[in-house]
Structure 1
Amino acid sequence: MSRQEAVARAATYFDRGDFRTDLARRVAMPTESQTGQSLDTLRAYLTDEIIPTVGKLGFASRVVDNPAPGHGPFLIAERHEADGLPTVLLYGHGDVVFGQDAGWREGLKPWALVEEGDRWYGRGTADNKGQHSINLAALEQVLAVRGGRLGFNCKLLIEMGEEAGSPGLREMARQERAALQADVLIGSDGPRLSAVRPTVFLGSRGAFNFELEVNLRAGGHHSGNWGGALSNAGTLLAHAIASLVDAKGRILVDGLKPKEIPASVRAALDGISLEQGMGDPDIDPDWGEPGLTPAEKVYAWNTLEVLAFVTGAPDKPANAVPPSAKATLQLRFVVGTDPETVIPLVEAHLAARGLGMVKARPARSATFEATRLDPSDPWVDWALASIARTTGKTPALLPNLGGSLPNDVFALILGMPTVWVPHSYPACSQHAPNEHLLASVAREALQLMAGLFYDLGEEGGAVLQARAA
């Protein structure tokens, strides 16, 4: 039996409708994690759907309760073939965002898989049920071709709270460190660079949200009687924000910017362009850090975004000097930026400019650390070569995802190299109504993952030796 047969079996699994059947069954489970009211459904996705599936593949599974009360559990599964073999940890999440039933267009609904040409609609098709379903099915094809063996040990982590910010994941990882330890993480989440180009990314930008607030006095005062004599909270906050980020989106606080883009990261992004699909916004070429390409701005630099700003009563403005104003900002950052320094840096910056009345504090949202595997790591060359061998395409290599995901759990807490192979595309409408997976991408992804797992059984030991050297 051969590698070609594993890839061919993956295509056949798709063509005869088995993948669609498996995915439709999983999409039908309304595993919303943000409501706080679906704990039974979140657990059932693991016990009734995933555990039987991986049990047929030789995995021993257990459900781990979430250390954070009121949030979905975790599944840890393991298939151990022999000591001395490479061990891979696979990751995915079975929870989804709100169904948003009323927002889907006619003929579509979140909890049913609907085919329209190349698009397969349904909540979770792209994020993340379709993606981890592809990886589990690819494992099955390799097992069949290699006579019931993979050639490596395999662990699996499925969480049921990623869309709620992964509460409890980090504490659980520390508690289950031994059970989750592996030589490499292979995960699938987020989009490819484009629908037609397989992609590998090696981490993610971090995210830190913080609030700026001005509280000057109790209540507003008539702008005719008092305007010009009373300081305006909205004006002060606007100037505070403008001192942090300019009218071109350029960060003005040195400590909030990277010191440089590493040569290996710049080389990886050489020739990478942000793909523009139908419905995507036009790129503003003059926005952001000057001298960088759009890809470098998104994947290799920090950005400071104003997410919300309110003062007075915007919907019903009154002739009054507003006494207070509040804004929420977000720093997306790459490796080298410490989120713990953000508030002290902002406070010192504002105080130095006479804006000490503007107070900064962390927002209540989760903070994601920035992570990035060195693009020169042997696991990277191995993954790129395997994907190219299967697809005949040169995959895109992104040093990190522009967005954020809990890769810090694997890279920092568990201390392993991380390789992400996404199976969605930028216009998939994840987190919005009409979420969909492209059938053409899913079919290709099944094949490239079958090839990747086959190659892991053949070449994983050599990759470990190369890393050791």
Structure 2
Amino acid sequence: MDLLGKARAHVDSGALFTELARLVAYPTVSDAPEGRAAVQAYLDEVLTPALTGLGCEVTQHANPDPAGGPFLVGVRTEGEDLPTLLCYGHADVVGEAGQWRDGLDPWTLTADGDRWYGRGTADNKGQHLINLTALRLVLAARGKLGFNLKFLFETGEEIGSPGLTEFAAQEKDLLSADVLIASDGPRLDAATPTLFLGARGGIRITLDADLRPDAAHSGNWGGILRNPATTLAAAIASLVDGHGRVQVPELLPPALPDSVRTALADVVVDADEGWGDQNLTPAERLYGWNTLEVLALGAGDPARPVNAIPGRARAVLQLRYVAGTDVGGVAPAIRKHLAAQGFPMVDVRADATFLASRTPVGDPWVTWAREALSAVTDKPVALLPNFGGGLPNHVFTDVLGLATLWLPHSYPGCLQHAPDEHLLAPVAREGLVLATALFDALSSTPPTPRR
């Protein structure tokens, strides 16, 4: 049986399901104290043996940020003249918020048709297990990898990757490589093999119209007291209109690069009719542009309204932005704009939650990867300059100076942060084939010498 046939057989035999069931059973929730023991056990009992089995020397490192958990690094060196691959995954999962449907337990892998239910199946245990398995298959077939391997696992991605940037900066030599190949996030859709090159960033924007300590009777004061809720609603509408179009040029990137437009030309994305900038395609709006979304909005008590003008109204917005956006100018631009619109009483606070970054579409590693993947599938491989969500991609591009190739093994409907998270068996099967093919190609036809 050839190498890719072995990859298919590994899924068809039930072996991948059995391995994943063991991984899911560890409740590695990073935002809960009780999850810390499970995280440590997962590193010691699952990931360390997996990396040791690949011939890696494994080391565990304390996090420079006390808010984060430890890092695990595995290193296998085969030759100084060979390319070095860095892989990445995260051991932690989100906590439980909401009820899973009858018959499902988040810590027990359950198959229902093509869906494998369990917390972490899609984000990220199933995905890093597929890559570990692909590396294992290549090593078994060749007796060597044909490249040097480094594998980094963090334990706090679901709480914003505290300490990861600092750790990478401190350990540049340990993590030095030619390329990152990792798996997280979703494909374009369940049927389309996808390669994405980075991630949008996020800035959380808090707007606060705190006008007085108490509410005021709407009959006695209506028409003479400024209503903070009305003020805030109008202020938001001046930033992003009722059809999702950003109204402040400083909140947008300078332009959509031709390389990004070309890469997205054949990408089809469903979108609500009339929503967003109609000068851009849905794919360009999602993967190549900035959006401003209202996450939360409140004044008074909607469940039990009283006849009173509230004293305060607050909203939380999020700017999802692509590389090239002037992040430092966001808050000043909003303040200036709101003052010009007559809303200087609205306080503005902006906090970056994660940074945008992407590898250039024309990078030789991108061309190599797309060709290697296309050679083993009869489907077009979607190339996304970045995916719509956030990942710590900037750590690898900006701190370590790597080309980044993300090969996701999940799909948009996987419910990764919600009840009933699942991995699709056909996507896992195809993902194992694609990852095995990509690692096998690296062992024989790397695109460039060491960078």
The question of a shared fold, defined as TM-score above 0.5 by the shorter chain, is answered with yes
Residue 84 (structure 1) aligns with? 81
Give CA-to-partner distance per residue, 1:346-373, whole Å, 9 cap, x none.
Answer: 111111222111010125xx62111111
Partner of 2:2: helix, strand, or coil? helix
Residue 116 (structure 1) aligns with? 112
**1:70 offset after TM fit, Å?**
4.4
Partner of 1:240: helix, strand, or coil? helix
Instruction: Check conservation: 1:97, 1:431, Cα contact below 8 A.
Output: yes
Instruction: Check conservation: 2:92, 2:155, Cα contact below 8 A.
Output: yes
Distance 1:260 1:71 in 2: 36
Q: 2:321 aligns with which of 330, 333, 356?
A: 333
Distance 1:351 1:337 in 2: 22
Give CA-to-partner distance per residue, 1:352-395, whole Å, 9 cap, x none.
Answer: 222111010125xx621111111111111111111111222221
Distance 1:429 1:290 in 2: 29
Q: Which amino acid aligns with 1:352?
A: A
Partner of 1:139: helix, strand, or coil? helix
- Whether 1:299 and 2:299 are equivalent positions in the alignment is no
**1:176 offset after TM fit, Å?**
1.4
Residue 186 (structure 1) aligns with? 181
Distance 2:326 2:57 in 1: 39
Residue 162 (structure 2) aligns with? 167
**1:37 offset after TM fit, Å?**
3.0
Give % identity.
53
Distance 1:180 1:340 in 2: 29
Partner of 2:19: helix, strand, or coil? helix
Structural mapping, 1:136-175, within 5 Å: 136-147=132-143, 149-175=144-170
**1:324 offset after TM fit, Å?**
1.0
Partner of 2:386: helix, strand, or coil? coil
Residue 105 (structure 1) aligns with? 101
**1:269 offset after TM fit, Å?**
0.3
Give CA-to-partner distance per residue, 1:189-222, whole Å, 9 cap, x none.
Answer: 0111111110000001110101000111220111
Instruction: Check conservation: 2:254, 2:325, Cα contact below 8 A.
Output: no
Q: 2:128 aligns with which of 132, 135, 143?
A: 132
Q: 1:464 aligns with which of 437, 448, 451?
A: 448
Structural mapping, 1:254-333, within 5 Å: 254-274=249-269, 283-333=271-321
Structure 2: stretches of 5+ with no match in the other structure: none
Distance 2:47 2:301 in 1: 49
Distance 2:43 2:234 in 1: 50
Q: Which amino acid aligns with 2:106?
A: P
Instruction: Check conservation: 2:39, 2:155, Cα contact below 8 A.
Output: yes
Distance 1:168 1:68 in 2: 5
Give CA-to-partner distance per residue, 1:50-105, whole Å, 9 cap, x none.
Answer: 101110110111111222224321111111111021111001111111134x6111
Residue 358 (structure 2) aligns with? 372
Give CA-to-partner distance per residue, 1:310-352, whole Å, 9 cap, x none.
Answer: 1122221111111111100000001111322111111111112
Distance 2:147 2:2 in 1: 19
Partner of 2:353: helix, strand, or coil? coil
Residue 278 (structure 1) aligns with? none
Structural mapping, 1:28-107, within 5 Å: 28-100=25-97, 103-107=99-103
Residue 401 (structure 2) aligns with? 415
Structural mapping, 1:195-214, within 5 Å: 195-214=190-209
Distance 2:276 2:33 in 1: 38
**1:5 offset after TM fit, Å?**
2.2
Structure 1: stretches of 5+ with no match in the other structure: 276-282
- Number of aligned residue pairs: 451
Distance 2:37 2:204 in 1: 31
Distance 2:220 2:431 in 1: 67
Q: Which amino acid aligns with 1:338?
A: D
Q: 1:252 aligns with which of 232, 247, 252?
A: 247
- Whether 1:351 and 2:347 are equivalent positions in the alignment is no
Instruction: Check conservation: 2:117, 2:420, Cα contact below 8 A.
Output: yes
Partner of 2:373: helix, strand, or coil? helix
Partner of 1:367: helix, strand, or coil? strand
Distance 2:407 2:218 in 1: 57
Instruction: Check conservation: 1:211, 1:326, Cα contact below 8 A.
Output: yes
Distance 2:129 2:7 in 1: 12
Give CA-to-partner distance per residue, 1:213-255, whole Å, 9 cap, x none.
Answer: 0111220111111111111111111111111111211111111
Q: Which amino acid aligns with 1:323?
A: G
Give CA-to-partner distance per residue, 1:276-314, whole Å, 9 cap, x none.
Answer: xxxxxxx21211112111111100110000111111222
Alignment RMSD, CA only? 1.4
Distance 1:249 1:318 in 2: 31
Partner of 1:391: helix, strand, or coil? coil
Partner of 2:354: helix, strand, or coil? coil
Distance 2:431 2:342 in 1: 55
Distance 1:107 1:124 in 2: 17
Partner of 2:376: helix, strand, or coil? helix
Give CA-to-partner distance per residue, 1:163-212, whole Å, 9 cap, x none.
Answer: 11111111111111211111111110011111111000000111010100
Instruction: Check conservation: 1:39, 1:71, Cα contact below 8 A.
Output: no
**1:139 offset after TM fit, Å?**
0.4
Q: Which amino acid aligns with 1:236?
A: T
